[in-house]
């Protein structure tokens, strides 16, 4: 049996029994049960910039077991104590790290979709990097859709003090006739002085609703380099957050979004400066064409006890004609008097005719010139992807849309 039932027919008993059959520890079974209760009781969220009017939650079929997690890594690192395995397996072995961290970064009860995720997740990876271990090769977790067109992936990443690693999360599929649903969550803990490179690539096929959450907790003097590529699916609603909780932590956070063909792709980054002398730089680049819609609903919070914060937010949008739209709602909330720097820059425009003419005067066709300008627009972000393979796949996914 691979599926439980559709959401309207699903019961807490089914969820509990399935978890027990899989051999999950008691604490996890209880979490699922509580999350399901929260899901049933919660009213659907009303999101201003995510239109769920055509979304049919009743057609979602709850999975019974993991099906589509593919993990790629340098297995020789296991000798240094590095763990990279399906999260459900790690949970079954009752690893205390999993038990202590799971569900602590993302609140399962914050809204209906997070609750649904916490009740039903099956796929996903657990990455653990011990103190002072530097992992060179990236850890790649790739996700697809199961036979019922759903994916519930939960990733848990723990980097201990002084370690470094690259974690790559990729979602991809063929185009889907009708509706498919992806509901992931990723929790990442970056220890003191550790370096995390985090890459998320969303390149689902047409028809997929991708509604999920990502949250990074950065410790003292930790560095996070985060790249998001939002390319596929019918609709994306991702709530991404990083909390710079301890002094000296910093994040370099970049994103590319390319919305075409009636896609609606929302990124809602939240950056919380909590510790002292924390630094952030956000750079998001968006291209829209046809009837594509992209929104950037960002918030930078500089909290009361945060001193000496430096932050800079850059957003740039390029319109390739048609009826494509972008919304940008950057917010800055400062609750302290001691801010080192806070800057914001934003541009939005169409392809520059002077650039096009210059390129065409060299023999390059209009179509190829546009192609090159778009790839060039994304290039400063793409070149930060730490794996050449992944960069190649992202580039190909963008080129396929041009």
Partner 1 sequence: MNTELVITDLHANVADKEILKGVNLTVKPGTVHAIMGPNGSGKSTLAYTLAGHPGYQVTGGEAWYQGQNILELAPDERAKLGLFLAFQYPVAIPGVTVANFLRAAVNAQRAEEGKDPKQTAMPMAQFRKELREKLTELEVDESFVRRYLNDGFSGGEKKRIEILQMSMLKPSMAILDETDSGLDIDALRIVSQGVNRLAEQNGEMGALVITHYQRLLNYIKPHFVSVMMDGRIVREGGAELALELEEKGYDWIREEVAAR
Given the rule CB under 8 A, which residues bind partner 1? 352-355, 357-366, 368, 372-373, 375-380
Would you say 266 or 287 has its CB closer to partner 1? 287
Would you say 216 or 287 has its CB closer to partner 1? 287
Q: Which residues contact 115 (CB under 8 A, 6 or more apart)?
A: 35, 36, 38, 39, 42, 108, 109
Would you say 133 or 318 has its CB closer to partner 1? 318
Would you say 342 or 364 has its CB closer to partner 1? 364
Distance in Å, CB of 231 to partner 1, minimum: 17
What is d(CA 348, CA 386) in angstroms, rounded to the nearest whole number? 28
Q: Which residue has the tokens 């991404």?
A: 240
Distance in Å, CB of 317 to partner 1, minimum: 15
Would you say 117 or 391 has its CB closer to partner 1? 391
Would you say 35 or 317 has its CB closer to partner 1? 317
Distance in Å, CB of 376 to partner 1, minimum: 2
Distance in Å, CB of 56 to partner 1, minimum: 40
Would you say 140 or 385 has its CB closer to partner 1? 385
CB 67 within 8 A of CB 152: no
> CA separation (Å) from 358 to 217, 352, 353, 366, 373?
46, 10, 8, 10, 12
Q: Which residues contact 195 (CB under 8 A, 6 or more apart)?
A: 159, 163, 164, 165, 222, 223, 224, 225
List the one residue out of 147, 241, 169, 176 whose CA is nearest residue 385: 169
Q: Which residues contact 251 (CB under 8 A, 6 or more apart)?
A: 216, 218, 223, 224, 225, 226, 242, 244, 271, 279, 280, 281
Distance in Å, CB of 367 to partner 1, minimum: 10
Would you say 27 or 358 has its CB closer to partner 1? 358
Distance in Å, CB of 256 to partner 1, minimum: 11
What is d(CA 195, CA 208) in angstroms, rounded to the nearest whole number? 32
> In this structure, what are the phi and psi dihedrals at residue 17, rounded to the nearest 5 degrees?
-65, -40
Q: Which residues contact 352 (CB under 8 A, 6 or more apart)?
A: 373
Distance in Å, CB of 316 to partner 1, minimum: 10
Distance in Å, CB of 8 to partner 1, minimum: 48
DSSP letters for 4-27: EEEGGG--HHHHHHHHHHTT--HH
């Amino acid at each position: 049996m691979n599926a439980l039932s559709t959401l309207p027919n699903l019961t807490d008993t089914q969820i509990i029994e399935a978890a027990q059959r899989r051999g999950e520890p008691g604490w996890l079974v209880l979490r699922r049960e509580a999350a399901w209760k929260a899901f049933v009781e919660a009213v659907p969220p009303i999101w201003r910039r995510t239109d769920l009017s055509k979304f049919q939650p009743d057609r979602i079929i709850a999975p019974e077991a993991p099906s589509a997690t593919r993990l790629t890594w340098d297995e020789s690192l296991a000798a240094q104590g590095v763990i990279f395995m399906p999260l459900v397996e790690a949970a079954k072995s009752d690893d205390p790290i999993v038990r202590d961290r799971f569900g602590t970064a993302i609140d399962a009860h914050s809204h209906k979709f997070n609750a649904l995720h916490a009740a039903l997740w099956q796929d996903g990876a657990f990455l653990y990097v011990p103190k002072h271990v530097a992992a060179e090769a990236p850890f790649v977790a790739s996700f697809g859709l199961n036979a019922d067109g759903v994916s519930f992936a939960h990733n848990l990443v723990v980097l201990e003090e002084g370690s470094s690693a690259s974690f790559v999360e990729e979602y991809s599929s063929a185009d889907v006739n009708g509706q498919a649903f992806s509901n992931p969550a990723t929790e990442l803990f970056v220890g003191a002085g550790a370096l995390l490179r985090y890459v998320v690539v969303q390149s689902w096929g047409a028809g997929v609703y991708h509604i999920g959450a990502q949250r990074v907790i950065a410790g003292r003097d930790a560095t996070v380099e985060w790249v998001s590529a939002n390319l596929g699916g019918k609709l994306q609603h991702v709530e991404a957050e990083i909390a710079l909780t301890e002094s000296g932590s910093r994040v370099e956070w970049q994103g590319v979004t390319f919305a075409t063909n009636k896609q609606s792709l929302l990124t809602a980054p939240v950056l919380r400066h909590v510790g002292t002398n924390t630094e952030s730089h956000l750079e998001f680049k968006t291209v829209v064409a046809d009837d594509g819609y992209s929104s950037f609903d960002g918030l930078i919070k500089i909290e009361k006890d945060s001193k000496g914060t430096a932050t800079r937010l850059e957003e740039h949008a390029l319109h390739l004609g048609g009826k494509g739209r972008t919304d940008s709602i950057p917010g800055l909330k400062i609750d302290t008097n001691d801010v080192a720097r806070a800057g914001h820059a934003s541009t939005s425009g169409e392809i520059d005719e002077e650039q096009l003419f210059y390129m065409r005067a060299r023999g390059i066709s209009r179509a190829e010139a546009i192609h090159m300008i778009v790839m060039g627009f994304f290039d400063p972000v793409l070149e930060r992807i730490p794996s050449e393979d992944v960069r190649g796949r992202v580039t190909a996914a963008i080129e396929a849309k041009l």
